[in-house]
């Protein structure tokens, strides 16, 4: 095991509760435009994703001496693609049926086909940042594109950083520098009057948010959680302070506020990351216990499918009342989780168990081992 190994992450029900908070904010924002900051639910997902995936990748490095990139991308495909394909096909089926009865015209059907193609190809964020109009029922796939574009880069970078012999502390500094550079880049775009649309949908507008989660995941899996979070005498103040920052932003921030791009996005991500760390190092905290309640855990488990389906029905081609649309989307998400996702999730979990059971440093194709000298979404 790596000399800088930290605790095993394992299953944490409170993290499903975090997903529940994220999806409930997003659905409420799209259905009722309340809270006006509900779009920040997406950034909660970004931070959590960066945290979990980095912690699990570092955990794999700790256990096996290497990170298997083919297995990583296999697990991503098993987790994301089945539910995504079913949801997009469902959207196209609804739109085509509406077209067949004459309620949808050909241009709208063509837009639906084009937007679905962007979503399946994980480029919806780029085309929308460039000004292309995508139907709202499918445009929300921009966030999936942002994540997957990030994960075309980050695992390779992490492997190379480990292979270079850098200590985990130095890797943390590199991550901090990358966050600062991306923050500075977005600040420059803001000061040069770049459109909010370009900054919101562009991948460079949220990569620093994901990296904040990655840094927290690296700290946890390397056993380097800062003392301000690790030690109870400090954590009792730091956790509530982070919660106060996050809640204040959720109360005050509006969607088109340019202050978000002057630093508030990064501040919100940092507050969420601190809350994640306080919960995983203190599972009996009040916040962790609240988020681990069974209804929150269930909503968190179906949150990915709920995200995929909610916009298809809320404001979609069927013109349903928002509350009815949200209820139907919840039902569709539940069916997706049990019928579509769980069989593939079992394959994903089986693959992870197989990889982490290795104890040798034998290299295979695209597995880059850490050097002999050492310097866990």
Joined together, the tokens standing for residue 56 give: 């699990």
Q: Which residue has the tokens 């912690």?
A: 55
For the chain, the structural domain boundaries read 13-355
What is the C-alpha separation between 247 and 282, in angstroms, rounded?
A: 20
pLDDT (tens, 9 = 90+) of the chain, 377 residues, equals 455 666 788 899 999 999 999 999 999 999 999 899 999 999 999 999 999 999 999 999 988 888 999 999 999 999 999 999 999 999 999 999 888 887 778 888 999 999 999 999 999 999 999 999 999 999 999 999 999 999 999 999 999 999 999 999 999 999 999 999 999 999 999 999 999 999 999 999 999 999 999 999 999 999 999 998 989 889 889 999 999 999 999 999 988 888 899 999 999 999 999 999 999 998 788 999 999 999 999 999 999 999 999 999 998 778 889 999 999 999 999 999 999 999 999 988 888 888 877 654 444 433 433 333 333 23
Could you tell me the CA-to-CA distances from 247 to 63, 89, 125, 294, 376 in Å, in that order?
Answer: 37, 37, 27, 23, 28
Q: Which two tokens stand for residue 132?
A: 């292309």
Query: Can you name the residues that pair with 367 across neighbouring β-strands?
Result: 68
**CA gap 369, 65 in Å, rounded:** 6
């Amino acid at each position: 095991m790596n000399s800088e190994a930290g605790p095993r992450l394992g299953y944490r029900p409170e993290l499903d509760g975090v997903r529940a908070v994220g999806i409930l904010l997003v659905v409420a924002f799209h259905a009722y435009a309340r809270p006006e900051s509900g779009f920040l639910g997406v950034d909660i997902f970004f931070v959590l994703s960066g945290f979990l995936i980095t912690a699990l990748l570092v955990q794999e490095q700790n256990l096996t001496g290497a990170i298997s990139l083919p297995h990583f991308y296999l697990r991503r495909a098993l987790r994301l693609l089945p539910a995504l394909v079913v949801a997009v096909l469902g959207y196209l089926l609804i739109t085509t049926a509406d077209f067949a009865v004459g309620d949808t015209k050909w241009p709208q059907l063509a837009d639906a086909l084009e937007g679905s193609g962007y979503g399946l190809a994980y480029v919806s964020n780029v085309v929308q940042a460039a000004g292309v109009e995508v139907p709202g029922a499918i445009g929300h796939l921009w966030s999936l594109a942002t994540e997957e574009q990030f994960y075309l880069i980050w695992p390779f970078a992490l492997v190379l950083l480990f292979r270079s012999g850098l200590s985990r502390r130095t890797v943390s500094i590199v991550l901090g520098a990358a966050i600062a550079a991306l923050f500075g880049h977005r600040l420059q775009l803001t000061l040069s009057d770049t459109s909010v649309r370009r900054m919101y949908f562009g991948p460079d507008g949220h990569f620093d948010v994901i990296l904040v989660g990655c840094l927290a995941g690296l700290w946890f899996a390397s056993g380097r959680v800062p003392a301000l979070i690790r030690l109870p005498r400090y954590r009792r103040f730091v956790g509530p302070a982070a919660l106060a920052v996050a809640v204040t932003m959720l109360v005050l921030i509006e969607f088109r506020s340019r202050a978000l791009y002057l630093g508030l996005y990064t501040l919100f991500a940092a507050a969420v990351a601190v809350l994640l760390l306080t919960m995983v190092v203190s599972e009996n905290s009040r916040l962790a216990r609240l988020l681990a309640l069974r209804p929150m855990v269930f909503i968190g488990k179906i949150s990915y499918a709920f995200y995929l389906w909610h916009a298809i029905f809320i404001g979609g081609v069927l013109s349903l009342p928002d509350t009815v649309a949200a209820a139907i989307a919840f039902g569709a998400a539940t069916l997706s989780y049990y019928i579509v996702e769980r069989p593939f999730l079992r394959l994903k979990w089986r693959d992870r168990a197989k990889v982490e059971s290795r104890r040798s440093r034998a290299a295979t194709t695209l597995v880059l081992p850490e050097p002999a000298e050492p310097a866990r979404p």
